[in-house]
Every structure is written in structure tokens, then in C-alpha cells.
Structure 1
Amino acid sequence: MSAHAAAKPRTRRRVPVVEGIALAVAALVVLMAVAGPLLAPYDPYAVDLSRSLLPPSAEHWLGTDSNGRDVLSRVLYGARVTLPATLVVIAASTLIGLLIGTLAALGGKVVDEVLMRITDIGLSLPAIILALGLAAALGPGLSSAVIALSLTWWPGYARLVRTLVREVKDAEYVDAARVMGVPQGRLIFRHILPNALNTLYVQTTVDVGAVMLVISGLSFIGVGAQVPSSEWGAMIAGEANNLTNAWWAVAFPGLALLLTALAFNLVGDWLRVRNDPTIRQEAR
């Protein structure tokens, strides 16, 4: 048998089916957040007690809540509340973690020890407990939840960035740039950080689902978004007493939250496999 005949046929790299569905769901949620007002058939805050707790029908696809508001419209608008709040937390905590992690990796032994001990304290306590205390101190509201979570979610990013920067700063091409006299600032922002952050953006994608669940959880227990907000956690909290006789008012915002968190988790896992040759090799 010739070597040509024995060679395995080349296969095109494709997105796995499950991850493809997850990517589509994540894209749909982003579309809902951008175009919610155009897609919603009713005003999500219009109260009509004569239509209270109507089951799903051709007129109201996902039914109505206890105040006669269309559940589908509120779920669509909810994406405009829940997703942006989540992204603000991710962006803010990433910036804090990036700053602290970089300073720890490049600032010398004393700076590293001090910053990492502070980071370890943050990692030793559940983020949701710290966020709950801070949000309660700041007062109920979505802004309080976002600020509180941003101030408690950064330690994981700081630890990750420190590890990545320490690995990259000892690479041969960085040493070569240093020998050539590249200024320290240019060395950090043009050579070290860009090559250290390939893993960080994967982690932030995975964390979207976790942060979203925590934000909705804070809204559910009353320290995040307040009723009658269309934030998904607040929607569930507002209709929790009607679960037995109007399940749709609770189930559909809960399902939107579940599917969105799961979709971003799967997309993040897929990105991790794509960017880590070791994991990709083991998966074959």
C-alpha cells in the first residue's frame, strides 16, 4: 500500500454541534439585548389587571404575569438589563485583576507578596457572600449589585494574570526585546500583555454565565434589581408566589437565565479547547 493511500484524509475543523448551538443561543441573547424594543410585541411595563396570569396563547406566547404584563416582552427587555450588567461586572473586574496581577508579576518580591496575600483573602471567601454584604450596605438596586460584584470578582483574574505574565516575561523573544533596549512600557504593553491575555479572554467568556447567575440571585433575594424591573432574577422574585398556579411567569425568565448561562459556559469551554493545544490533542 502506498504512503499516499495509507495517509488519513484531512478533515475540516468544525464547530461541534453542541457548542454550535450554544454559540447560536449566545448570539440570540446578544440580539435580544440590542433589539429587544423592536422585537417585543407589548410594553413590558404596561399593567393590565384584566389580563392577569393568562396562560401561553397565540396572543401572549409566554403568557402574562400577575399584573397582566406580557412575559415574552419582559424576557426580551430583560436581556437588555441582565446582559449589560453582567458585561460591566466582567469588564470592571477584569481591569482590576489585570492591574493587580501585572503589578504583582512585575513589581518585585515585596509587591508580589502583598498583592497576592490580598488576592488570597478575596479568593478564600465566596464572591456571592461578599457581594451580598456590599450590595446590602450600598442599598438595594442593580447598580449596587454591579458595583459590589465588580469589587469581589477580580481576585481570580488577578491570580491568572500574574501567572500568565510571569510565564511570558521570561520568554526568549521578551529577553531579546529587552536586550535591544525596548522601553519598559512598550515591553509590557506591546510584548508581554498581548501574549499573556489569550487565556484571560477565554476565562471571561466562561465567567459570563456565573456572573449572570449571581446578579440574578442578588435580585431574587432583594438586594439587586428591584420589582418591577424586567431583570430576569427580579422577574422570578416578583412571581415566585404564583409558581403553582401560573408557572409560566416564573419558568420562562428562569429558562432564559439557564440557557444563557449554559450557552456562554459551553462557548467558553470550546474557546479553551481551541486555544490550548494540549487539551485539543487529548480530545482527539
Structure 2
Amino acid sequence: MSNTLTKIAPLRRRTVRAITGVSGVQVIVPIMVALLVILAIVGPLIAPFDAVYRSNILDSLQAPSAAHWLGTDGQGRDVFWRIIAGAQSSLLSSVLIVTGFSVLGILVATIATLGGKRADEIVMRIVDAALAFPPIIFALGVAAALGPSLSSAVIAMILTGWPVTARLLRGVMKETMSQPFIENARVLGVSRTRLMLHHVLPNSLDVLVVKWAGDIGNTILILGGLSFVGVGAQPPSAEWGAMVTGAKNVIATAPWAALAPGFAIALTALAFGLLGDILQVRFNPALRRR
């Protein structure tokens, strides 16, 4: 395992061990994540279309009851079923974003590692320039330029997420390239491309496995934030951030319409964040030291 993950502050190590060491957390968290993924896949299939999308002003802003477990929003739509249906937009969009910027980051890191010293310097200066922009500000600018929509928010976040992945993976690849088994492969005449695809890259991706889980949680929060400020998903979408946006004007009289999707965002981000910590402890021996 690369030294990149082992150089973690003692406080961080104690915090991660404390959270993931709690009895049952390592079982409950993966189950929560699995249920969320299943919900994202089947949610739109089981949610009644009328309850999710059809307005009924006569039922607007009804408090939680047996008929509407989480109440209704300003258009009379059932908040519970909208959360169920919106899981796909929120969670699968986040997975798509993480996959997209991870692929870009892997490509950039591979070019920097294979291209020699000069190519590495040029690529990393580009990465440094990209990192100089605050990600949320850059994402807001890109999404606003493309026009407010969920697809614009996805593209914006892919374009802002790759530099961190590229810098992290490039450092791990450089360390992997210095390992004895890589030197042995070079002596045997293995080409640089084959060396990268069959030896360096597979032995460097473990750092990203840990990062992906945490990235999905963070992405859900940012995606909801972009929708909240009006550059993400638009009404009548059941995306959770858009639901919070639609309820912000009635939060004083009908708090359930905003709190319920907000809680769904927070719970999902927490579940994936804890999953990332659990994977980090499992893959990183330094975090298991007492």
C-alpha cells in the first residue's frame, strides 16, 4: 500500500478507529449503502407517478399523516414518494460524477507518469492551475454557462473533480514505479505501456477504492447545493436538492417539505462517508495500529 495514505495525522487515525471500531458499524453501514443503491435502482419503478409528479393544490402542505407519511409539498405531491423516486437522480448522478472525474484523473495521471519528466511537469502545472479555482465556484460557473439542469451540474462537477484524483494517483504511481518488482519487469524487457497497464495501474488503484466511497457522499452534498442555488436539477424533478429548493419558501409553515429531503441527503452522505472510513481502515495497516 502506498505511503500516500499512511501519512495521516494521529488525530485522524484515532477518529477513524473510534468511528469504525464501534460495535455493529462495520455491518450496519454496508447494509445502509446497499439499501440506498437498491432504492436508487427500484425507486422510480415503485413510486406512484401521480404522487410524485402530479400537482393537487387541494392537498398542498399537508402535515405528515397516515395518508402522507412525510406530508405533502406546496404542489400537493407526496414528499415520501418523491424522496423514493428522487433517490435515482441524486445517488446515480453522484456515481456518474465520481466515475467521470475518476476516469479523467486516471488518464491525466497515466500521461504524467509515462510521459517523462518534462511531460510530468507540464501536466502537473495544469493540474495545479485547475486546483487554484475553488471547486464549488468553478462548478457554479460551468453549470450556469451550460444552463440550469441536472446534466449541467453533472458535467460541471466532473470538470472540477478530476484534478484532485489526478494529483493523488500520480503520486501513488510514482511510488509504485520505484518498487523492486517494477524494476525487475523493466530488466525483463517489459514495455512502458504494458508495465503501466498490467503492473503499475492495478497496484495503484487501491487508493482510489477508498476515495470513491467518500467522494460519492461529498458529491451528493454538492449536487444538492447546486440544485438549491438554482443551477442543478429543476422542478418538477424529484432530485433531493431540488426538493429542498422548492420548499425553502414554506419552511416556516411546512418544515417537513424541506427537512425530509435534507435528511435524506445528510443520511446518504454520512453512510458513504463512513463506508470510506471503513475501507480506509481495512486497506491501510497504519490505521489499525493502536
Q: So what's the TM-score if we normalise by structure 1?
A: 0.91
Amino acid aligned to 1:159:
R
Amino acid aligned to 2:65:
S
| Per-residue deviation, residues 163-203 of structure 1 (Å, max 9, x unmatched) | 11101111111111121122322211111100000011211
Identity over aligned pairs, percent? 49
Superposed displacement of residue 16, structure 1:
4.5
Paired residue for 1:54?
Answer: 62
Distance 1:248 1:205 in 2: 29
Distance 1:142 1:82 in 2: 9
Amino acid aligned to 1:35:
V
Distance 1:231 1:70 in 2: 14
Aligned counterpart for 2:254 among listed residues 246, 253, 262: 246
- SS of residue paired to 2:70: coil
Superposed displacement of residue 109, structure 1:
1.4
Aligned counterpart for 2:47 among listed residues 40, 44, 60: 40
Distance 2:190 2:133 in 1: 41
Paired residue for 1:92?
Answer: 100
Paired residue for 1:3?
Answer: none
Superposed displacement of residue 124, structure 1:
2.3
Paired residue for 1:148?
Answer: 156
> Any stretches of 5+ residues in structure 2 without a counterpart?
1-20
> Any stretches of 5+ residues in structure 1 without a counterpart?
1-13
| Per-residue deviation, residues 121-155 of structure 1 (Å, max 9, x unmatched) | 22222211100001111111011111111011111
Superposed CA RMSD: 1.6
Based on CA coordinates, which of the two structures has the bigger radius of gyration? 1
Paired residue for 2:109?
Answer: 101
Q: 1:154 to 1:160 in 2, by over 3 A?
A: same
Superposed displacement of residue 38, structure 1:
4.0
Q: Which has the higher contact order (CA 8 A, sep 6+)?
A: 2
Paired residue for 2:29?
Answer: 22
| Per-residue deviation, residues 37-67 of structure 1 (Å, max 9, x unmatched) | 3443563102111111111111111111111
Moved more, 37-46 or 174-183: 37-46
Superposed displacement of residue 108, structure 1:
1.3
Distance 1:70 1:19 in 2: 34
- SS of residue paired to 2:62: coil
Task: Give the count of matched residue pairs.
Answer: 270
1:173 aligns with 2:184: no
Query: Do the aligned partners of 2:225 and 2:241 also contact (CA within 8 Å) in 1?
Result: yes
Paired residue for 1:6?
Answer: none
Paired residue for 1:261?
Answer: 269
Query: Do the aligned partners of 1:53 and 1:66 also contact (CA within 8 Å) in 2?
Result: yes
1:228 aligns with 2:236: yes
Superposed displacement of residue 212, structure 1:
1.1
Distance 1:126 1:254 in 2: 24
Distance 1:121 1:90 in 2: 21
Distance 1:200 1:37 in 2: 30
Distance 2:174 2:23 in 1: 33
Paired residue for 1:199?
Answer: 207
1:110 aligns with 2:110: no
| Per-residue deviation, residues 108-127 of structure 1 (Å, max 9, x unmatched) | 11111111111112222221
Paired residue for 2:217?
Answer: 209
Paired residue for 2:129?
Answer: 121
Query: Do the aligned partners of 1:89 and 1:149 also contact (CA within 8 Å) in 2?
Result: yes
